[in-house]
A and B are shown apart, each in its own frame.
Chain A
Amino acid sequence: MAGPSCRQSRYIDDFMKAYSLFSLARNAMSYHRNWQRAWRSPDPKSKYDVVIIGGGGHGLATAYYLATQCGINNVAVIEKGWLGGGNTGRNTTIVRSNYLLDASAGMYEHAMKLWEGLSQELNYNVMFSQRGLLHLAHSVHDMQEIGRRGNAIHLNGIDSEFLTPEQVKEMLPIINLNCRYPVMGGLLQKRGGTARHDAVAWGYARGADAAGVDIIQNCEVRGVRVESNTVVGVETSRGFIGAGKVGSVAAGHSSVIAEMAGFKMPLECYPLQALVSEPIKPIIDCVVMSNGIHVYVSQSDKGELVVGSGSDAYNSYSQRGSFDLIEHTVGPLCELFPLFSRLRMLRQWAGIVDVTVDRSPILSKTPVKNLYFNCGWGTGGFKATPGSGHAFAHSIAAGEMNEIAAPFSIDRFNSGALIDEGAAAAVAH
């Protein structure tokens, strides 16, 4: 008798916890004072099967898929600050999968397919909006680049359309086609768009927590304990935490974690800035990017324009950027959309991006046994969050990188088999 009634109460429990119209109405009756916590705040146990370093989107997604798909529930996510407070909360929320090379298409399209069902899967509205993503071309070279890339995308079975300047104007009536470097065409991915970045971290955290993952915030990793070339745990600000396997998903601090474990990474860190304007009525209903004149912009649901461009070109962990880069960002923005010149910018910030020389990420085993790294996402990791977490979780569980992750091994920097997205993806994140 215990079995069925136990299952039944679990079912009722899950039903009561799930976010739905019913739970909204029920909580409205108590003036929304009794919503349950989205995740627990447990004390760390002495040992876990897997410890994930870094509570950003990729780390939380890894933990979520480990617990829900790989049958590994004894997992901790250790976060120095608060969830999604690093690059997950600092990016410009753009999602796309229009990459040139096969390995990249495999990873980013894998992510795109997971994005498309993510709110339902997590029972958490990540506000994924496939509003379309438009790359502009401003020169013969740009036209050749989008021609080559657009056809490569087609061959990989991913959607992509070429637009004439007239079609661009039809999509974006406010655009100034005859700017200093006139718009000669565009490449549109209709399935591209944006998602609410914080909600992605929170949704994965809630899902992972419900599946038994311990999320430990305000807990800094200060050392990686390695015995006979095998990782056995991490030293943290809350003491030693033992681990069967460790996955480092520390983004800008990956080199620091690697140094703790005694090896170097092919990474350098730079500040990447973004800024938002004051909120205005709906004016841009897609994401607009220009590699040629170096700016990208979309409009948030609050009405703010979210603007970004290139990273500052010096090594830094400062989470600030230089002023001249802001000028380099708003210059082309006002050239493309002259009416934005009268907007005020409200906020500006930077995140620390860990960049590889080929502008492709690293999902890999390391010189230390049972220590895995997921890093090097550089200026464009947000869009890959579900795919990266999914591939990394399955790879950690199997002890071998899976088909999607395998090309992104750290060994490529010795073998020379780089995945050189530098030219195709240098700006557009």
Chain B
Amino acid sequence: MFIINCPYCGDRDQTEFSCHGEAHIPRPTNTATMTDEEWGDYVFFRSNPKGYHRERWLHDHGCRRWFNALRHTVTDEFVATYKVQDPRPQIPGDGDQS
């Protein structure tokens, strides 16, 4: 069981939240000229890393607001949660912000 730190409400039980997959996938702006491959990549293809993962969470049974989290997919450890507009927190042991 996780305790998840909602950036708006603080520490809450995992059962109040739902996870909605990889974060920071911007909706493309050139939709009229995109190829099928580019659409497929945007809609379906995911990095699905074994390691640190930036992902979207929703506090369904709380403030009902969306936020992002940096979590490790092997240990399930949350490194940080952050508001959508906040700068991305650094991956532990990683110099850059990618």
Give residues 351-375 of A contacting B (CB, 8 Å).
354, 356-357
Partner among A253, A317, A318, A414 whose Cβ is within 8 Å of the Cβ of B40:
A414
**Residues of B contacting A323 with CB < 8 Å?**
1
**Residues of A contacting B1 with CB < 8 Å?**
322-324
- Known A265-B48, A269-B73, A313-B18; further 12 A-B contacts with Cβ < 8 A: A255-B46, A255-B48, A256-B50, A267-B48, A268-B46, A313-B19, A315-B21, A324-B15, A356-B44, A414-B36, A414-B40, A416-B36
Give residues 43-65 of B contacting A (CB, 8 Å).
43-50, 53, 55
B76 contacts the other chain (CB 8 A): yes
Return the 6 tightest CB-CB contacts between A and B, nearest first: A414-B40, A314-B19, A255-B48, A266-B44, A413-B44, A414-B36
**Residues of B contacting A154 with CB < 8 Å?**
none
Interface pairs (21), CB distance under 8 Å:
A264-B46, A264-B48, A265-B45, A265-B46, A267-B48, A268-B22, A313-B18, A313-B19, A314-B19, A315-B53, A316-B76, A317-B50, A318-B73, A322-B1, A324-B1, A324-B15, A354-B48, A357-B43, A413-B40, A414-B36, A416-B36
Name the residue of chain B whose CB is nearest to the CB of A355: B48
Name the residue of chain B whose CB is nearest to the CB of A252: B50
A415 contacts the other chain (CB 8 A): yes
> Beta-carbon contacts of B6-42 to A below 8 Å, as 1s and 0s?
0000000011001101100000000000001101110
With A and B bound together, what is the CA distance between A10 and B1 in angstroms? 57
**Residues of B contacting A315 with CB < 8 Å?**
19, 21-22, 48, 53, 55, 73
> Beta-carbon contacts of B64-89 to A below 8 Å, as 1s and 0s?
00000000011110000000000000
- Contact between chains at A255 and B47 (CB < 8 Å): yes
- Contact between chains at B36 and A415 (CB < 8 Å): yes
With A and B bound together, what is the CA distance between A322 and B15 in angstroms? 9
A149 contacts the other chain (CB 8 A): no
**Residues of A contacting B39 with CB < 8 Å?**
414
With A and B bound together, what is the CA distance between A314 and B23 in angstroms? 13
With A and B bound together, what is the CA distance between A354 and B36 in angstroms? 23
Name the residue of chain B whose CB is nearest to the CB of A324: B15
Interface centre among B22, B46, B55, B75 (most CB of A within 10 A): B46
**Residues of B contacting A394 with CB < 8 Å?**
none
With A and B bound together, what is the CA distance between A28 and B36 in angstroms? 64
- Contact between chains at B47 and A264 (CB < 8 Å): yes
With A and B bound together, what is the CA distance between A255 and B50 in angstroms? 8
- Contact between chains at B47 and A318 (CB < 8 Å): no
Give residues 301-331 of A contacting B (CB, 8 Å).
313-318, 320, 322-324
**Residues of A contacting B47 with CB < 8 Å?**
255, 259, 264
With A and B bound together, what is the CA distance between A320 and B75 in angstroms? 10
Partner among A255, A269, A322, A413 whose Cβ is within 8 Å of the Cβ of B2:
A322
Do A317 and B2 contact each other (CB < 8 Å), given the known contacts A264-B47, A414-B39? no
- Contact between chains at A264 and B75 (CB < 8 Å): no
Determine how close the nearest CB of chain A comes to the CB of B48; give it in whole angstroms.
Answer: 4
Name the residue of chain A whose CB is nearest to the CB of B77: A318
With A and B bound together, what is the CA distance between A70 and B20 in angstroms? 43
Do A269 and B76 contact each other (CB < 8 Å), given the known contacts A322-B2, A415-B36? no
With A and B bound together, what is the CA distance between A318 and B76 in angstroms? 7
**Residues of B contacting A413 with CB < 8 Å?**
40, 43-45
- Contact between chains at B19 and A269 (CB < 8 Å): no
With A and B bound together, what is the CA distance between A256 and B15 in angstroms? 29
With A and B bound together, what is the CA distance between A248 and B25 in angstroms? 27
With A and B bound together, what is the CA distance between A324 and B2 in angstroms? 10
Interface centre among B2, B37, B49, B76 (most CB of A within 10 A): B76
Interface centre among B19, B43, B44, B50 (most CB of A within 10 A): B44
With A and B bound together, what is the CA distance between A274 and B18 in angstroms? 21
- Contact between chains at B45 and A322 (CB < 8 Å): no
With A and B bound together, what is the CA distance between A314 and B37 in angstroms? 26
**Residues of A contacting B14 with CB < 8 Å?**
322, 324
Determine how close the nearest CB of chain B comes to the CB of A371; give it in whole angstroms.
Answer: 17
Give residues 238-281 of A contacting B (CB, 8 Å).
253, 255-256, 259, 264-269
**Residues of A contacting B41 with CB < 8 Å?**
264
- Contact between chains at B46 and A267 (CB < 8 Å): yes
With A and B bound together, what is the CA distance between A315 and B76 in angstroms? 9
Determine how close the nearest CB of chain B comes to the CB of A322; give it in whole angstroms.
Answer: 6
